[in-house]
Amino acid sequence: MIANPASAYVHIPFCRRRCFYCDFPISVLGNHQRGETSGTVEGYVALLCDEIAVTPKLNEPPLQTVFFGGGTPSLLSIPQLAQILTQLDQHFGIDPAAEISMEMDPGTFDLEHLQGYLAAGITRISLGVQALDDTTLESCGRYHRVVDVYRAVDWLHQVAMPNWSLDLISGLPHQTLTDWETSLSKAVALYPHHLSIYDLTVEPQTVFAKRYQPGDGPLPTDEQTAAMYRLAQAFLTAQGYEHYEVSNYAQPGHQCQHNLTYWRNQPYYGFGLGATSYTQLQRVSRPRTLATYSEWVNEFQAAEGTHREPPTPPMEQLLDRLMLGLRLKAGIGGDEVRSLCDSATWDTLIAALHPHIAQGWVILEGDAWDTLQRLRLSDPDGFLFSNVVLSDCFRAIEDLQEI
């Protein structure tokens, strides 16, 4: 039985500038424009609403989560945000108790904007801090500075924001273990309900890729970034945060419900430039530039909201589930494993996992096909070496398909 989507991701691609590590699909507005003054943003919001309006409604009951990501959604005007939420509500319905998240960057909004976003329906904020010293922020090409962070957090406390998260990046140029420990201490002192801790990945075609080679100075070594990961895990869990996903920590009751949709490989709508949707076992990616996205929406309207992509093949579904589900502390339940593969495929997987079980990276609760209760990774080392574990699983399944 194919599940119905209960979540929607909305991509807002506009930024003040492109950060030096960023390869996301964005459009740069400059330091002075925002939704209130930009015809480009206004036109994009209209196009986005056109896509939403023609998308077939597959969900019942209404949406349980909505996530505005980017880019920098906090560059939207309050009426623009309200316009998108109204379109979603009219077409799909939004549950009154839905988690409605919005990524916001310090220095791109004020108290009035924050209050307006909450009045429009936002219930959760993800604050893109990334670093808590000005030298590091400048070296990353970030628009904001530390003073903007503290001002933004003060506003979040003023409005008694019931659920907000803070993002940090480890493994940045010139960053030491001591620097990282200081950043974590400063972050926790701001009392966020949730923290997302990302290790820097040097993506092709970014400014960082032109300047640095992974593992070479001034980037920390692999051993140093592993130490940073272990430090974050030990420090944040000691402060009462649950390490519920590879890169995410939450106080009780504050896990990001929208992102859990992805990690559980559940269906969701995706809207906007560069966004991906996953409905009826189809993954559909939108173009990554404004011009090509506009053409795509026009073609989508002409096709009356139909996609031509084939369903995800069963083995690919299994690989997706492993890649996403093993990011979670809870891992994957035995019943779900059995629904995705037969006992012969499981035997192949077990053979690939045995070395990692012996190392303590992989934990099985019941190891036989018919008694498996849960498959998960250990914390922190299983999470830290998850790419190694997954690579071996993928290779084993690919070899099985070639037999």
Same domain, yes or no: 123 and 232 = yes
Question: For residue range 310-323, what is the model confidence (pLDDT) as tens digits?
Answer: 888 888 899 999 99
CATH code for the domain of 109: 3.20.20.70
Cα(225)–Cα(325) distance, rounded to whole angstroms? Answer: 23
Model confidence, pTM: 0.96
Whether pLDDT at 215 is above 80: no
What pLDDT, on a 0 to 100 scale, did the predictor assign at position 221?
93
Same domain flag for 67 and 171: yes
Same domain, yes or no: 223 and 370? no
Straight-line distance from the first to the last Cα atom of the chain, in angstroms, rounded to the nearest whole number: 29
- Whether 370 has a pLDDT exceeding 90, the answer reads no
User: Rounded to whole angstroms, how far apart are CA atoms 265 and 320?
Assistant: 7
Please tell me the distance from the alpha carbon of residue 127 to that of residue 125, in angstroms, as a whole number: 6
Same domain for 91 and 189, yes or no, is: yes
Q: Is the pLDDT of residue 399 over 90?
A: no
On whether both 240 and 388 belong to a single domain, the answer is no
- Is residue 284's pLDDT more than 90? yes
Domain identity same for 233 and 320: no
Whether 286 is covered by a domain: the verdict is no
Question: What mean pLDDT value characterizes the chain?
Answer: 95
Q: Does residue 306 form part of some domain?
A: no
Q: Among 264, 299, 324, give the residue marking a domain's end.
A: 264
For residues 214 and 69, which has the higher predicted lDDT (pLDDT)?
A: 69
**In angstroms, how far is CA 279 from the centroid of its own chain?**
18
Same domain, 203 and 341: no
**Ordered DSSP codes for 328-369:** BTT-EEHHHHHHH--HHHHHHHHHHHHHHHHHTSEEEES-ST
Is residue 220 domain-shared with residue 342, that is, in the same domain?
Answer: no
Question: Residues 236, 332: one domain?
Answer: no
Instruction: Give residue 309's pLDDT band: very low, low, confident or very high (50, 70, 90).
Output: confident
**Residue 276, in any domain of the structure:** no
Give the span between the Cα atoms of 118 and 102, in whole angstroms: 10
284 assigned to some structural domain: no
Q: Whole-angstrom Cα distance, residue 229 to residue 137?
A: 20
* CA neighbor of 5 nearest in space, from 118, 90, 94, 70: 94
Tens digit of each residue's pLDDT (9 = 90 or more) over 151-197 = 999 999 999 999 999 999 999 999 999 999 999 999 999 999 999 99
Q: How confident is the model at residue 32 (pLDDT cuts 50, 70, 90)?
A: confident
pLDDT at 400: 78
Give the whole-number percent of the chain exceeding pLDDT 70: 99
Verify that 142 and 250 share a domain, yes or no. yes
Looking at the structure of the chain, the number of domains it has is 2
Spatial separation of the C-alpha atoms in residues 154 and 143, rounded to whole Å: 19
d(CA 341, CA 157): 48
Instruction: State the DSSP code for 268.
Output: B
Q: Is residue 393 assigned to a domain?
A: yes
If pLDDT is split at 50, 70 and 90, which confidence band does 216 have? confident
Q: Is residue 269 part of a domain?
A: no
SS3 254: coil
Query: Does 292 map to a domain?
Result: no
Q: Which of 396, 59, 98 is nearest to 258 (CA)?
A: 98
Q: 264, 295, 326 — which closes off a domain?
A: 264
In a domain, 304, yes or no: no
Which residues form the domain of 383? 314-402
- Same domain for 335 and 223: no
In terms of domains, do 319 and 239 share one?
A: no
